[in-house]
């Protein structure tokens, strides 16, 4: 039976979520000082605009608040036939029935909940190969370009994306300073999609911003 339908038809095989042929991931930071209602509003608008994967990244908040947010986003993604990922807490991913558990590069391995995807952030070919060997289903690669989120981070650039593409047979999602105008070269370098934070969440109109990214992803 179909479990997910985005702008592309996405089918579930043995209850495992299927990664879309083109990924537009929105990373939502939920931490002290962040307005929960704004997070939900941005998520709702972004999904309408074309985002087909929400990644909830939580830091420093009580578990009940994190679960409330995850369950709210789970409902939104189900309504829009999109994926939900949780970074970095396995228990939260399990309790919210998330589609994916996402681990930072340096975090020790933890198996995903039953039927969920496992992904990692990587910043080198060695890290990508290690992640592939431990059974990851996809990789978040970069920082590709300079970014306001991590202004002191030296970007690895498209060369990292190309090198990882040659080294591992996994879906790659480029992250870091990606604008709609940069999407095409990320795809050419081997990415299956892009992950965005401020380009959508910080836009005056997250729905319209998501539409621009989605158009860039599919205009090929």
pLDDT in tens, 51-97: 999 999 999 999 999 999 999 999 999 999 999 999 999 999 999 99
* Confidence (pLDDT) at 152: 77
Confidence of residue 220 (pLDDT cuts 50, 70, 90): low
pLDDT in tens, 122-134: 999 999 999 999 9
Surface-to-core class of residue 127, CB atoms within 10 Å of its CB (0-12 exposed, 13-18 middle, 19+ buried): middle
Residue with tokens 């060695």: 126
- The larger pLDDT score, comparing residue 37 to residue 149, is at 37
**pTM reported for the whole predicted model:** 0.91
Phi (first) and psi of residue 93, to 5 degrees:
-60, -40
pLDDT in tens, 151-184: 777 889 999 999 999 999 999 999 999 999 999 9
CB distance 200 to 216 below 8 Å = no
Contacts of 30 (CB under 8 A, 6+ apart): 36, 39, 56, 57, 58, 59, 61, 66, 69
* Confidence (pLDDT) at 4: 36
Phi (first) and psi of residue 100, to 5 degrees:
-150, 145
DSSP state of 102: E
H-run or E-run covering 93: helix 90-95
Q: Which residues pair with 84 in a beta bridge?
A: 54
pLDDT in tens, 12-51: 333 789 999 999 999 999 999 999 999 999 999 999 999 9
CATH 1.10.150.120 for the 4-10+22-218 domain, yes or no: no
* Confidence (pLDDT) at 219: 86
* Confidence (pLDDT) at 6: 35
Residue with tokens 């985005």: 6
* Confidence (pLDDT) at 91: 98
């Amino acid at each position: 039976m179909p479990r997910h339908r985005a702008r592309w038809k996405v089918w579930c095989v043995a209850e495992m979520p299927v990664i879309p042929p083109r990924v537009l991931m929105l990373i939502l930071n939920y931490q002290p000082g962040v307005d929960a209602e704004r997070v939900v509003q941005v998520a709702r608008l972004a999904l309408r605009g074309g985002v087909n994967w929400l990644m909830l990244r939580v830091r420093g908040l009580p578990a009940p608040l994190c679960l409330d947010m995850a369950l709210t986003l789970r409902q939104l993604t189900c309504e829009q036939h999109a994926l939900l990922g949780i970074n970095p807490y396995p228990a939260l991913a399990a309790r919210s029935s998330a589609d994916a558990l996402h681990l930072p590069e340096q975090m020790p391995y933890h198996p995903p909940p039953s039927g969920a995807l496992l992904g990692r952030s990587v910043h080198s070919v060695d890290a990508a190969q290690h992640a592939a060997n431990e059974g990851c289903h996809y990789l978040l690669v970069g920082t590709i370009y300079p970014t306001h989120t991590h202004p002191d981070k030296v970007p690895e650039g498209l060369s990292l994306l190309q090198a990882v593409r040659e080294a591992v047979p996994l879906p790659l999602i480029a992250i870091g300073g990606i604008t709609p105008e940069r999407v095409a070269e990320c795809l050419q370098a081997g990415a299956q999609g892009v992950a965005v934070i401020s380009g959508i969440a910080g836009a005056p109109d997250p729905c319209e911003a998501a539409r621009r990214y989605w158009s860039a992803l599919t205009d090929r």
